[in-house]
Each structure stands twice: as structure tokens, then as C-alpha cells.
């Protein structure tokens, strides 16, 4: 009945820069710069993700190299010191890796990123084999959807079912904000309509300018 939400596989990057556990510090820095990424999945075997090396994992080494005396004072935790002296991906990576499945919704991926405070997530299958990478920028792509495309989906998939005739509801979308206007028979359905419209990809917010058949204007 209603439009299917976009999932991670719709927006993820399929060609991924990754390294093996034995990758050297300089090799990882060079790859990050060349591919313009802030983190690299660490894979082994047939592509199973075992960890992630991020810029944050590499910085303790730079801090220690820049000023060893100050660096040792600042890097007081054993884990930080270990990373500062590490030279391979296996020693530097954060493990286990925080990942997401290709079939997860964009909202689910966004929640994982927010909770883990990361900018990118490796996308894996049921065997933890790398399928791609999804970034914060990828998750925002749906908000580039054209207003008229959003309006057409709201009319077809939501208004026609929730507010059938004799209700007369028009749909206008401006910069992702959906406005429903006109007359409705049953104003109790407004919360349902609001929830469904907000679930449409690209919708920023929903507003109502509706009048019930009895003449009462709904907010």
C-alpha cells in the first residue's frame, strides 16, 4: 500500500577501499588520502570484516611522533599508548567492527552511526563479508529528492487510501515540507496521515491546512 523505504544498499558505495590486517601505517594513511576517506575496513579471508581503522586510530602515533615527552604524558591509557606504538592494521584497528546490513533502512543505519559516533559504516552480509560502505552523506541523499516526486507519492500511496472521496485533500510540497489542505470526513485520521507522510523518503516535515466536514479547521 505504501512506498517502500530506501535501504542501505540503495545509497551505499559499492567500490570500497579496504586493507588486510598486515597493512602498514603508511599504507593506510596513503590509501585514506588517495581515496579521500576517513576510515578503512580491515578484512581477512574472503572479505570478512574484522575491524576498522579510522583517522582517530592513527592520530595517537602522530601525537607521539611530534613530541614524545608530551605525547607520553597525554596518552596515559594503556590502550592509547599501544595504538601510538602500533604499526599494522591489526594493532591499530577498532574491533569488533560496527557494521550494518545492506537491507537495513536508512533510519536504522543513522541510529547505529549516532550511537557509535562514527561517520561511516561497513556494509556486510550474514557472514560479515564486506559488501560496501555507507556514510553520513549517503544517508542524506534522499533529501535531494524533487518536491513533485514526493507530492506524487503522497497523493498516490497515502492520501488516496487514508482520505478517499468525499474527502478532498490536496498535496503541496516545498523544500521537502508537505502541506495537506482541503476537507476531510474523519479528522481522527490526521495523526495516522502525519506518521505515514513523515515516513516518505525525502520528507522534512508535514503541515495541515484541513477543514473537517463539520466546518472545523484542523491545525
Asked if residue 80 has pLDDT above 80, the reply is: no
Per the prediction, the chain carries an average pLDDT of: 86
Q: What is the pLDDT of residue 71?
A: 46
Higher-confidence residue of 81 and 15: namely 15
Q: Which CATH number fits domain 145-218: 3.40.50.300, 3.30.565.10, 3.40.50.10860, 3.30.1340.30?
A: 3.30.1340.30
- Stretch 36-53: mean pLDDT: 96
The structural domains of the chain, with segments of one domain joined by +, span 8-142, 145-218
| 125 CB burial (10 A radius; 0-12, 13-18, 19+) | middle
d(CA 92, CA 24): 10
pLDDT category of residue 67 using cuts at 50, 70 and 90: low
pLDDT for 32:
96
pLDDT, residue 144, reads: 85
Q: In what order do the strands lie in the sheet with 168-174?
A: 168-174, 177-184, 205-212, 217-218
State residue 1's pLDDT score: 38
Q: Which fold has domain 8-142?
A: CBS-domain (3.10.580)
Give me the pLDDT at residue 53, please: 96
pLDDT band at 195 (very low <50, low <70, confident <90, very high): very high
Query: What gap in Å lies between CA 163 and CA 183, rounded to an integer?
Result: 9
Amino acid at each position: 500500500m505504501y512506498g517502500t523505504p530506501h535501504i542501505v544498499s540503495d545509497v551505499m558505495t559499492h567500490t570500497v577501499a579496504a586493507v588486510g590486517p598486515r597493512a602498514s601505517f603508511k599504507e593506510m594513511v596513503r590509501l585514506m588520502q588517495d581515496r579521500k576517506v576517513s576510515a578503512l575496513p580491515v578484512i581477512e579471508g574472503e572479505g570478512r570484516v574484522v575491524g576498522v581503522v579510522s583517522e582517530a586510530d592513527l592520530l595517537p602515533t602522530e601525537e607521539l611522533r611530534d613530541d614524545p615527552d608530551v605525547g607520553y604524558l597525554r596518552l596515559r591509557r594503556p590502550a592509547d599508548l599501544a595504538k601510538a606504538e602500533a604499526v599494522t592494521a591489526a594493532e591499530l584497528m577498532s574491533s569488533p567492527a560496527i557494521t550494518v546490513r545492506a537491507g537495513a533502512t536508512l533510519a536504522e543505519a543513522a541510529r547505529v552511526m549516532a550511537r557509535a559516533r562514527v561517520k561511516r559504516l561497513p556494509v556486510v552480509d550474514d557472514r560479515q563479508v564486506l559488501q560496501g560502505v555507507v556514510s553520513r552523506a549517503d544517508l542524506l541523499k534522499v533529501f535531494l529528492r524533487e518536491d513533485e516526486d514526493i507530492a506524487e507519492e503522497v497523493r498516490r500511496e497515502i492520501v488516496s487510501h487514508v482520505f478517499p472521496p468525499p474527502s478532498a485533500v490536496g498535496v503541496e510540497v516545498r523544500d521537502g515540507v508537505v502541506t495537506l489542505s482541503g476537507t476531510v470526513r474523519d479528522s481522527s485520521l490526521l495523526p495516522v496521515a502525519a506518521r505515514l507522510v513523515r515516513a516518505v523518503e525525502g520528507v522534512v516535515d508535514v503541515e495541515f491546512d484541513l477543514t473537517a466536514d463539520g466546518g472545523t479547521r484542523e491545525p
